[in-house]
Amino acid sequence: MTHQNYSLKQLQQIDAAHHLHPFTDHKEMREAGSRIITHANGPFIYDSEGTEILDGMAGLWCVNIGYGRDELADAAYAQMKELPYYNSFFKCSTPTPVLLAKKLAELAPKHVNQVFYGSSGSEANDTALRLVRHYWALEGKPEKNRIISRKSAYHGSTIAGTSLGGMEPMHKQLNGAVPNIVHVMMPYAYELALP
C-alpha cells in the first residue's frame, strides 16, 4: 500500500506510534502531529497539505543538487538492477565504488588519494576519529589521542559525533562521552569568553 491510501491523521498516528525522530520532543510531536513531507522538486519540498517549502537545509545537507533529478534516478535504477549493494569487507569490492574512488582521487589534491565511503556525516566523523587514533597507535604513539573541537559545533548524533560536537545539551544525554575530546571557544564568540 502507498501513502496515498492513508489520511494525514492516520499517517501521523502511525508515525507517533512507531517512528522515533532525532532532535524531537516526542510528547509534543504526538500532541501536534508530525509534518508529513510527500514529495519534492528542485529546491522545494511539499507537505501533505500542499505547502511548498524551500529546503534551505538540502535534506539535512545531503540533497545539495536538488530533488527530482531524472538523471540521478535513472543512474540509481540502472545500478539497482545490475547490483544494488555488496559490502567492501573481507577484500571485496564492486566496480562502481572502485571507479568512483579513482575519479575522486583525480579531482582531489595529489596527497588525497584514498577514499573511505560512509552513509552519513555522523558515520564519517566516527570513522575519522577511529582512523586517526588507530594511525597514532600503529605509529607507536597511542597516547596521541586528544582531539580538539569547537564549542557549539555539530558533528553528528552518534556517540562519537556527539562527543566531537560542542553542544552541551547533547553531551548530557550521553552519560559519558568519548574520552580526550577537548572543546575550545568558537572563533567569533570572543565576548562569550569574557568573565
Q: Average pLDDT, stretch 32-56?
A: 93
| Per-residue pLDDT at 195 | 64
Distance separating alpha carbons of residues 30 and 152, to the nearest angstrom: 29
DSSP 83-145: -------TT---HHHHHHHHHHHHHS-TT-------SSHHHHHHHHHHHHHHHHHHTT-TT--
Instruction: Say if CB 155 and CB 120 are below 8 A apart.
Output: no
Q: pLDDT of 140-162, one tens digit each? A: 999 999 999 988 888 888 888 88
If pLDDT is split at 50, 70 and 90, which confidence band does 167 have? confident
| Per-residue pLDDT at 41 | 93
| Per-residue pLDDT at 189 | 59
Q: Average pLDDT, stretch 120-132?
A: 90
At the topology level of CATH, where does 3-70 sit?
Answer: Aspartate Aminotransferase, domain 1 (3.90.1150)
| Cell numbers at 189, concatenated | 564568540
Q: Inform me whether the pLDDT recorded for 31 exceeds 80.
A: yes
- At 134, which amino acid appears? H
Q: Inform me whether the pLDDT recorded for 2 exceeds 80.
A: no
DSSP 8-state secondary structure symbol assigned to residue 20: P
Q: Report domain extents, the chain.
A: 3-70, 83-107, 121-193
Please name the residues in contact with 171: beta carbons below 8 A apart, sequence gap of 6 or more.
162, 163, 177
Counting beta carbons within 10 angstroms of the beta carbon of residue 38, is it exposed (0 to 12), middle (13 to 18) or buried (19 or more)? Answer: middle
Q: How is the chain split among helix, strand and coil, in percent rounded to 5? A: 45, 10, 45
What percent of the chain lies above the pLDDT cut of 70?
A: 95
